[in-house]
């Protein structure tokens, strides 16, 4: 059984990649959100692959015990054991290709090894054998593709996530990825629909916290859904008719007009379609007080941050003495700053008249 234990542990580690990667995209703009998602990533990553592997181990007729001496090295080298298992599983599937559970196991193993194209192919075989109806195989194909290229959310992988959610509306993973797909496609209303449905499925507390953060971000960007209570409540609505000429005490009214531009030396480094996060935070640090998500293709951009964009219930920009205004193009797609992101920031001067210019002129280290 040594091989089984080795495989199970390594597959659990691989599942961390699959689960943590999308969860780390889900923060609402602060480091605390990313930290909050990590326990869920670890818990689900261990449980899901072990459960799947246990089912295959129970139902399969493959002689696992007989293969231990052939696959495991004398010193129990995990990498050698995994490679040996992959070789045996590939041979088995060549002889008996009609085993969808075996193909899915091979797909998971390829993900652990970082071979995402082969993982997509393996999951694809399982999907063919089930006439395109196996939701786990469908999610596996789509996940493997977006691990190679996140722009796949905008293509066939995104379509597969949506189909998985339609086939299995009570599948947490399908709903989560369908929401991410809609978000990447700049369709916050559809994303809200998927994540609201996910929330109603009573997910684990850690996942519920992540979902609530994403719903709050959508509410801040486009307003709460009709007849619904926003997760992040509006503290003070922005003036319905802002003055034609901004006044000096705009922050006192809870609104800050901004102009976001890119420095010439970084203009060629801005990828099209990347998320653009505009936020206000306290000069003392901490999570964003207000945030808006737009797209890099809208740059240069004129935008107004207001109490309507508050991330925390009851927070008003007029209550904070020292504000820092930040604009960041996220290369990773995550609200939390990552290495390589392009950003700019300025300290807010309440006495300034007219829109405040934030120039994106730095690269995150």
The pLDDT tens digits for 308-339 are 777 665 667 777 778 899 999 998 887 778 88
67-98 as b/e: b if 16+ CB within 10 A:
bbeebbeeeeeeeebbebbbebbeebbeeeee
* Residue 179 shares a structural domain with residue 47: yes
Top-confidence residue, 341 or 147: 341
How deeply is 349 buried, as exposed, middle or buried, from its count of CB atoms within 10 A (0-12, 13-18, 19+)?
A: exposed
Say what the pLDDT of residue 236 is. 31
* Residue 210 shares a structural domain with residue 346: no
Identify whether the C-beta of residue 51 lies closer than 8 Å to the C-beta of residue 236.
Answer: no
Q: What average pLDDT does this structure show over 293-300?
A: 88
Q: Domain of 345?
A: 251-363
Which of 62-71, 203-212, 231-240 has maximum average pLDDT? 203-212
What would the pLDDT profile of 57-86 be if each residue is shown by its tens digit? Answer: 444 444 444 443 343 344 445 455 667 778
Q: What are phi and psi of 281, to 5 degrees?
A: -135, 165
* Residue 297 shares a structural domain with residue 211: no
* Residue 135 shares a structural domain with residue 21: yes
Whether 231 is in a domain gets the answer: no
Q: Domain with 128 in it: what CATH number? A: 1.25.40.10
Q: Tell me the CB-side half-sphere exposure of residue 135, using CA atoms within 13 A.
A: 17
Q: With bands split at pLDDT 50, 70 and 90, how would you rate the model's confidence at 363?
A: very high
Say what the pLDDT of residue 120 is. 94
Q: With bands split at pLDDT 50, 70 and 90, how would you rate the model's confidence at 104?
A: very high
Say what the pLDDT of residue 161 is. 94
Identify whether the C-beta of residue 104 lies closer than 8 Å to the C-beta of residue 123.
Answer: yes
DSSP assigned state of 362: E
Judged by average pLDDT, the poorest of 78-82, 120-124, 331-335, 358-362 is 78-82
Say what the pLDDT of residue 311 is. 67
Residue at which a domain ends, from 204, 222, 240: 222
Q: Which two tokens stand for residue 287?
A: 């999570």
Q: With bands split at pLDDT 50, 70 and 90, how would you rate the model's confidence at 237?
A: very low
- The three-state secondary structure class of 273 is coil
Q: Domain with 304 in it: what CATH number? A: 2.60.40.1120
Identify whether the C-beta of residue 218 lies closer than 8 Å to the C-beta of residue 191.
Answer: yes
Say what the pLDDT of residue 220 is. 86
pLDDT at 26 over 50: no
Whether 200 is in a domain gets the answer: yes
Top-confidence residue, 85 or 9: 85
Q: How far apart are CA 31 and CA 37, in angstroms?
A: 10
pLDDT at 152 over 50: yes
Whether 239 is in a domain gets the answer: no
Whether 131 is in a domain gets the answer: yes
Helix (H) / strand (E) element for 147: namely: helix 135-148
Q: What average pLDDT does this structure show over 103-119?
A: 86
Residue at which a domain ends, from 222, 243, 265: 222
What global pTM score does this model have? 0.47
Q: With bands split at pLDDT 50, 70 and 90, how would you rate the model's confidence at 35?
A: very low
CA angle, corner 139, sides to 137 and 142, nearest 5?
110
The count of structural domains within the chain is: 2
pLDDT at 19 over 90: no
* Residue 218 shares a structural domain with residue 259: no
Q: With bands split at pLDDT 50, 70 and 90, how would you rate the model's confidence at 250?
A: very low
Residue at which a domain ends, from 172, 204, 222: 222
Top-confidence residue, 76 or 117: 117
Top-confidence residue, 104 or 310: 104
* Residue 204 shares a structural domain with residue 278: no
Say what the pLDDT of residue 64 is. 41
pLDDT at 46 over 80: no
Whether 316 is in a domain gets the answer: yes
Q: How far apart are CA 37 and CA 187, in angstroms?
A: 23
Q: What average pLDDT does this structure show over 200-227?
A: 81
SS3 sequence of 53-77: HHHHHHHCCCCHHHHHHHHCCCCCC
Say what the pLDDT of residue 84 is. 77
Whether 327 is in a domain gets the answer: yes
* Residue 154 shares a structural domain with residue 276: no
* Residue 74 shares a structural domain with residue 130: yes
pLDDT at 112 over 90: no
Say what the pLDDT of residue 16 is. 47
User: Which value, to the nearest 10 degrees, does the dihedral of the CA atoms of residues 148, 154, 158, 159 take?
Assistant: -130
* Residue 208 shares a structural domain with residue 283: no
Whether 159 is in a domain gets the answer: yes
Whether 149 is in a domain gets the answer: yes
- Whole-Å CA distances, 234 to 39, 49, 243, 307, 314: 29, 41, 21, 7, 7
Q: Which two tokens stand for residue 121?
A: 């192919």
The single residue listed with the structure tokens 């102009």 is 259
Q: With bands split at pLDDT 50, 70 and 90, how would you rate the model's confidence at 159?
A: very high
Judged by average pLDDT, the poorest of 210-219, 272-281, 309-318 is 309-318
* Residue 185 shares a structural domain with residue 276: no
* Residue 54 shares a structural domain with residue 184: yes
Mean pLDDT of the chain, nearest integer: 74
Q: How far apart are CA 140 and CA 114, in angstroms?
A: 14
Edge-to-edge strand order for the sheet containing 342-347? 290-295, 275-282, 323-329, 342-347, 362-363
Q: How far apart are CA 170 and CA 270, in angstroms?
A: 38
* Residue 182 shares a structural domain with residue 93: yes
The single residue listed with the structure tokens 């306290």 is 282
Say what the pLDDT of residue 113 is. 77
Identify whether the C-beta of residue 316 lies closer than 8 Å to the C-beta of residue 235.
Answer: yes
């Amino acid at each position: 059984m040594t091989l089984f234990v080795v495989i199970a542990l390594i597959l659990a580690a691989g599942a961390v990649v699959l689960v943590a990667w999308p969860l780390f995209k889900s923060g609402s703009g602060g480091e605390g959100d990313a930290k909050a998602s990590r326990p869920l990533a670890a818990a689900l990553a261990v449980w899901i692959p072990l459960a799947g592997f246990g089912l295959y181990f129970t139902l399969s007729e493959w002689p696992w015990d007989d293969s231990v001496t052939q696959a495991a090295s004398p010193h129990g080298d995990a990498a050698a054991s995994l490679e040996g298992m992959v070789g045996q599983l590939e041979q088995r599937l060549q002889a008996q290709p009609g085993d969808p559970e075996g193909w899915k196991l091979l797909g998971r193993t390829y993900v652990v090894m970082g071979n995402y194209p082969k993982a997509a192919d393996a999951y694809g075989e399982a999907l063919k054998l089930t006439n395109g109806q196996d939701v786990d195989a469908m999610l596996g194909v789509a996940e493997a593709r977006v691990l190679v290229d996140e722009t796949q959310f905008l293509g066939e992988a995104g379509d597969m996530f949506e189909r998985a959610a339609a086939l299995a509306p009570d599948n947490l993973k399908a709903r989560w990825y369908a929401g991410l797909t809609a978000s990447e496609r700049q369709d916050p209303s559809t994303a809200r629909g998927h994540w609201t449905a996910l929330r109603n499925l009573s997910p684990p507390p850690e996942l519920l916290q992540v979902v609530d953060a994403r719903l709050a971000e959508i509410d801040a960007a486009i307003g709460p859904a009709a007849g619904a209570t926003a997760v992040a409540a509006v503290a003070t609505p922005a003036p319905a008719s802002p003055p034609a000429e901004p006044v000096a005490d705009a922050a006192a009214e809870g609104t800050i007009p901004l102009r976001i531009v890119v420095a010439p030396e970084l203009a060629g480094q801005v990828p099209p379609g990347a998320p653009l996060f505009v936020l206000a935070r306290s000069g003392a640090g901490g999570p964003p007080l207000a945030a808006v998500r737009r797209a890099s293709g809208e740059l240069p951009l004129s935008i107004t941050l207001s109490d309507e964009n508050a991330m925390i219930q009851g927070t008003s920009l007029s209550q904070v003495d020292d504000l820092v205004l930040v604009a960041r193009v996220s290369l990773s797609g995550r609200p939390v700053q990552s290495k390589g992101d392009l950003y700019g920031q300025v300290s807010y001067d309440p006495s300034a008249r007219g829109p405040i210019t934030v120039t994106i002129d730095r690269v995150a280290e």
